Amino acid sequence: MTFQKTDEVKVLRDPVHADVRVEYEVIWRLINTAWMQRMRRIRQLGGAFMVYHTADHSRFSHSLGVYEIVRRMITEVPDLARALNEREKVTVMAAALLHDIGHGPYSHAFEKVVGGTHEDYTCRIIEEDTEVTRILEAAAPGLSHEVADVIRHQSENPLLPQLISAQLDADRMDYLLRDSYFTGTSYGHFDLERILRTLRVEDDLVVVKESGVYAIDYVMARYHSYWQIYYHPGARSFECILSKLFDRLRDLNEAGHMPQSIPEFKPLIEGGVLSLEDYFVLDEYSCNYAFEVLSRCGDRITADLASRILDRRLFDYMEDTEENRRNVTAALEAAGYDPAYYLASDDVGQRVYIPYRVSAGNAIRVRLHGGEIKELSEASNIVQSLVRGRQLRDDRIYYPKEIRGLL
Ligand code: ZN
């Protein structure tokens, strides 16, 4: 079978890739679904826009970027262009475009509030008879499950998931470049063109040629971006306030004292897995409107937490130790703050590059000049020393700045 092409190649301008090119009708139709358009209303970086004021870019533009990198891989990397048939190429391009479609507002902060991970919702949106499902099935019966299988890492062809999520994949490549561009930082830069030129296929594995080892700046880009953008304590502080607000709403709801009805939040507050109809209306526009309403409600704590989100009155932070917790709790109580809603904590840990994690398809493999395949940390001295380094941790507690004088 063949897939219908668009009348002419559609070109979408993009500051990271210059052009995003669409030539399949099914891809164009997916971009125009309400589910994809909803991604315009969800920021790519959760709370990081509170730290980097231009980091307002959406999941929509990231999704197009991942699609474009995959499209280039399967057309410009000769081994991939040969190894995949047209159906597999369309499948992996659709999976790239849709891989984040199940994200809720404020990224990972929201995942703690809602029942289920964004991957669960992504596969449901693709397979549960939505507009997305119907477009995929109309293009080729069975396609919706094949696309979801790529996202679940269960494809019949093991090459497909490697292009979208492994260690050297289109998802990470796009977000490192895009987040770096939109935060105005240089941490995420790496040589995408060189990586694409050195990709090869060896026994169902995507590998890089030895000369591509110098694209190691990719691993370094990841390391710096994680600490400077994704794990920035300012962004985490914003996310902590968000989850405390939902803790408060849940407690009020249980006690039968909801100060203000927000119908869109009802399923969230009651808990459990959401229907796709309820999930659809949750985006950052509807949430911001709800926060504005809540900031004027009768419950003092709810109103305060909601206005902190809108007005960027972020929590302060310090290292999470027994002693610090004791001191902060005492200061909060002295100042009349309930620690249940005003003392938050989170922890992050990151290894710069973890070989052999999850599955065999999840390492960066290098083909040496002699033909031998080695895992990246064995082929690069720099990566080897990074892998051996201790795992960095950064456990913090968060509390209102107003109690500073009492600490
Ligand atoms: Zn992504």
- For position 351, what pLDDT does the model report? 55
Distance in angstroms (rounded) separating the CA atoms of residues 303 and 309: 10
Instruction: Tell how far the Cα of 4 is from the centroid of ligand 1, in angstroms.
Output: 27
Instruction: Tell how far the Cα of 212 is from the centroid of ligand 1, in angstroms.
Output: 24
Instruction: Tell how far the Cα of 213 is from the centroid of ligand 1, in angstroms.
Output: 24
| 98-110 confidence digits (pLDDT tens) | 999 999 998 777 8
- For position 310, what pLDDT does the model report? 96
- For position 360, what pLDDT does the model report? 47
> Taking 90 as the threshold, does the pLDDT of residue 285 lie above it?
yes
- For position 393, what pLDDT does the model report? 74
Q: Confidence band (pLDDT; 50, 70, 90) for 215?
A: low
User: Residue 258: exposed, middle, or buried by beta-carbon count in 10 A (0-12, 13-18, 19+)?
Assistant: middle
Instruction: Tell how far the Cα of 28 is from the centroid of ligand 1, in angstroms.
Output: 19
pTM: 0.93
Instruction: Tell how far the Cα of 188 is from the centroid of ligand 1, in angstroms.
Output: 15
Instruction: Tell how far the Cα of 283 is from the centroid of ligand 1, in angstroms.
Output: 17
Q: Which of 153, 68, 121 is nearest to 277 (CA)?
A: 121
Distance in angstroms (rounded) separating the CA atoms of residues 318 and 325: 9
The whole-number average pLDDT for the span 297-317 is 96
Helices 118-127, 131-139: crossing angle, 10 deg rounding: 60
Q: Describe the strand order of the beta sheet including 344-346 as a list of residue ranges.
A: 315-319, 396-400, 344-346
Q: Confidence band (pLDDT; 50, 70, 90) for 160?
A: very high
Q: Which of 283, 346, 288 is nearest to 58 (CA)?
A: 283
Stretch (H or E) spanning 374: strand 373-375
Instruction: Tell how far the Cα of 61 is from the centroid of ligand 1, in angstroms.
Output: 10
Instruction: Tell how far the Cα of 295 is from the centroid of ligand 1, in angstroms.
Output: 32
| 135-159 confidence digits (pLDDT tens) | 999 999 999 999 999 999 999 999 9
The most confident of the ranges 45-59, 129-143, 221-235, 386-400 is 129-143
Instruction: Tell how far the Cα of 362 is from the centroid of ligand 1, in angstroms.
Output: 16
- For position 265, what pLDDT does the model report? 92
| 84-130 confidence digits (pLDDT tens) | 999 999 999 999 999 999 999 987 778 878 878 889 999 999 999 99
The whole-number average pLDDT for the span 62-80 is 97
Instruction: Tell how far the Cα of 92 is from the centroid of ligand 1, in angstroms.
Output: 14
Mean pLDDT, the chain, integer: 90
Contacts of 348 (CB under 8 A, 6+ apart): 231, 236, 393, 394, 395
Q: Which of 32, 61, 19 is nearest to 44 (CA)?
A: 61
Instruction: Tell how far the Cα of 152 is from the centroid of ligand 1, in angstroms.
Output: 14
Q: Confidence band (pLDDT; 50, 70, 90) for 231?
A: confident
Q: Which of 310, 316, 321 is nearest to 337 (CA)?
A: 316
Contacts of 328 (CB under 8 A, 6+ apart): 318, 339, 343, 397, 399, 403, 407
Instruction: Tell how far the Cα of 175 is from the centroid of ligand 1, in angstroms.
Output: 7
Instruction: Tell how far the Cα of 3 is from the centroid of ligand 1, in angstroms.
Output: 26
Instruction: Tell how far the Cα of 174 is from the centroid of ligand 1, in angstroms.
Output: 8
Q: Confidence band (pLDDT; 50, 70, 90) for 362?
A: low
DSSP string over 379-407: H-HHHHHHHHSPPEE--EEEEEGGGGGG-
What's the token pair of residue 143?
């396609």
Stretch (H or E) spanning 201: strand 199-202
Looking at residue 403, its amino acid is: I
Q: Mapping DSSP to helix (H, G, I), strand (E, B) and coil, where does residue 162 land?
A: helix
Instruction: Tell how far the Cα of 63 is from the centroid of ligand 1, in angstroms.
Output: 6
Comparing 147-156, 245-254, 260-269, 361-370, the range with the smallest average pLDDT is 361-370
Instruction: Tell how far the Cα of 2 is from the centroid of ligand 1, in angstroms.
Output: 28
> Taking 70 as the threshold, does the pLDDT of residue 353 lie above it?
no
Instruction: Tell how far the Cα of 333 is from the centroid of ligand 1, in angstroms.
Output: 41
Specify whether the CB–CB gap between 66 and 171 falls below 8 A. Answer: yes
Instruction: Tell how far the Cα of 49 is from the centroid of ligand 1, in angstroms.
Output: 17
Instruction: Tell how far the Cα of 117 is from the centroid of ligand 1, in angstroms.
Output: 14
Contacts of 276 (CB under 8 A, 6+ apart): 121, 124, 125, 128, 130
Percent of the chain, pLDDT > 70? 94
Contacts of 321 (CB under 8 A, 6+ apart): none
Instruction: Tell how far the Cα of 277 is from the centroid of ligand 1, in angstroms.
Output: 23
Instruction: Tell how far the Cα of 369 is from the centroid of ligand 1, in angstroms.
Output: 33
Specify whether the CB–CB gap between 223 and 352 falls below 8 A. Answer: yes
What's the token pair of residue 330?
């005492």
Instruction: Tell how far the Cα of 180 is from the centroid of ligand 1, in angstroms.
Output: 14
Q: Which of 217, 270, 276 is nearest to 246 (CA)?
A: 270
Instruction: Tell how far the Cα of 67 is from the centroid of ligand 1, in angstroms.
Output: 10
Instruction: Tell how far the Cα of 166 is from the centroid of ligand 1, in angstroms.
Output: 12
Distance in angstroms (rounded) separating the CA atoms of residues 269 and 246: 7
Q: Which of 190, 187, 160 is nearest to 173 (CA)?
A: 190
| 2-40 confidence digits (pLDDT tens) | 999 999 999 999 999 999 999 999 999 999 999 999 999
What's the token pair of residue 206?
């995507």
> Taking 90 as the threshold, does the pLDDT of residue 288 lie above it?
yes
Instruction: Tell how far the Cα of 176 is from the centroid of ligand 1, in angstroms.
Output: 10
Instruction: Tell how far the Cα of 355 is from the centroid of ligand 1, in angstroms.
Output: 20
Distance in angstroms (rounded) separating the CA atoms of residues 371 and 358: 26
Instruction: Tell how far the Cα of 100 is from the centroid of ligand 1, in angstroms.
Output: 5
- For position 131, what pLDDT does the model report? 98
